[in-house]
Structure 1
Amino acid sequence: MAEKKTARPLARVSRQRLYEQLMKQILEYVEDAQLGPGDHLPPERELADSLGVSRATLAQALVALEVLGVIDVQHGTGAVLVYRPSVAKLVKELQEHRNRLPEIVEARSALEVKLAELAASRRTPEDLDAIGAALEAMEREIAAGDRGAHGDELFHRAVTQAAHSPVLAQMMTFIAEMVLETRLESLGQPGRPEQSLASHRRIAEAIRAGEADVAARAMQSHIELVSDVALLK
């Protein structure tokens, strides 16, 4: 009697997230419509209605596409196609991005918490002016209906400058492009721009008061907030 072979265990089938399905459908629409770089996608309301989803759910898919460099979303002009990857390439890049996110969060915690602590001890009047100007810029962007990404970038750059640590600043420059991924992703979450601005203000207050420990804790709380993104759930 032949020896019975042991069957390999069945692999668990991963459940695809809704926004991943939407990303693929949007890309299929782009291919069917023969859209090229520079062409606009339909308005968000029209896309959401066509796909049968809420605008909040659609926004997650659009943010993910923006993070991967497929589209560029500008306030007032909508989503513009940057390049047209294949569905297979999109899935591969999405997985690589998801795997990279926890490491980006770790790097931000290691660097930016220390930068906030140093900024509270070393800031100059000019540094405080730059931090204040960044907060105002982010507030204006959000009030205009934008996500405040530029003001957010200015704020973290100003805190880095206020720390007066050339080596840490150089390390932040090295990871700047990766941080941009998490910035776009975080600020694309509903209500997140306003939460992030409030978090920035707490950091700024601690730096202005010269409270190094408080500034470090505020920055750590901020990084935990902005790291709460759909791709890690």
Structure 2
Amino acid sequence: MKSIKRETMSKQVVDQIIELLTSRQLNPGDKLPTEAELTDMLFVSRPVLREALSSLETMGMIQRKTREGTFFSYRIGSKPFSIMLALSAGDIPAVMEARMALELGLVTMAAEKITDQQLEQLAELMHAMSLNTAGYEQIDKNFHRMIAYSANNPILEGSIDALLNMFDKTTNQIAQIDRDHLVTMQQHQAIFDALSKRDPLAAHSSMYIHLSQVRAKLVKPKLR
């Protein structure tokens, strides 16, 4: 590891510790050196090191276990993505575009990987939504979350929850969206049918139609 110059702060310590992972000196799940060893290796004070470790823990990069030590996480959760999203809070076009970019890729992969059990869970969610003509936002969110998880990609799993939660927080700040229950059900059915047929192109097209309609209701076109 490179020594840290005295004038630098915890961010550079964070970068150096992450470099242990990216350089494969350590792997996910491995135990980090002790605080005493890290302060010697990085030439920093213990308060600076502890600040860096706290930041890494907040981001879900590391886990501290009492009497065992500090370990790199096996999977990075949604915290890093949540932090980035927080910087765009209230920016409806940016949040909506991020959702489209992520979900269109996820539904395409889901069409290739989704299991029969996951399809059954989607069908149950659609049935629940058919019984709730009002106040079905949480069921809607779970429908999209299940599709994302069906892509079975650990790198992207941590992103979808943070993005859907930020979408809700952002849209709650504006007037209630004009939701059409029948249209939403029809669009979800089209997505489900494409996934059932394991058809990536149809799944992408159906999701694009659905999210484009949501975007049209949220993002007003700019006047020339």
For Structure 1 versus Structure 2, the TM-score category normalised by the shorter chain is 0.5 to 0.7
- The structure where helix makes up a greater share of residues is 1
Q: CA deviation at 1:182?
A: 6.1
Gaps of 5+ in 2: 1-86
Q: Match for 1:220: what amino acid?
A: Y
Q: How many residues align?
A: 135
**Partner letter of residue 212 of structure 1?**
P
2:114 to 104, 123, 128: 123
Paired AA for residue 173 in structure 1: D
- Say whether 1:153 aligns with 2:148: no
SS at match of 1:164: coil
Q: Deviations over 1:35-61 (max 9, x none)?
A: xxxxxxxxxxxxxxxxxxxxxxxxxxx
Distance 1:175 1:133, change over 3 A: same
2:151 maps to 1:163: yes
TM-score by length of 1: 0.52
- The answer on whether the counterparts of 1:117 and 1:216 sit within 8 Å (CA) in structure 2 is yes
Aligned pair partner of 2:131 in 140, 151, 157: 140
Corresponding residue for residue 204 of structure 1: 192
Q: For residue 219 of structure 1, what is the amino acid of its counterpart?
A: M
Task: Summarize the Cα distance change of 1:187–1:120 in structure 2 as closer, same or farther, 3 Å threshold.
Answer: farther
1:1-233 equivalences in 2 (<5 Å): 100-142=91-133, 146-181=134-169, 188-229=176-217, 232=220
Once the two structures are superposed, what CA deviation does each residue of 1:77-104 show, in whole Å capped at 9, x if it has no partner? xxxxxxxxxxxxxxxxxxx999600001
Distance 1:185 1:108 in 2: 17
| Gaps in structure 1 of 5+ consecutive residues | 1-95
8 Å contact kept, 1:98–1:231:
no
Is the contact made by 1:120 and 1:211 (CA closer than 8 Å) also made in structure 2?
yes
Over the matched positions of the two proteins, sequence identity in percent amounts to 22
SS in 2 for 1:232: coil
TM-align CA RMSD: 2.7
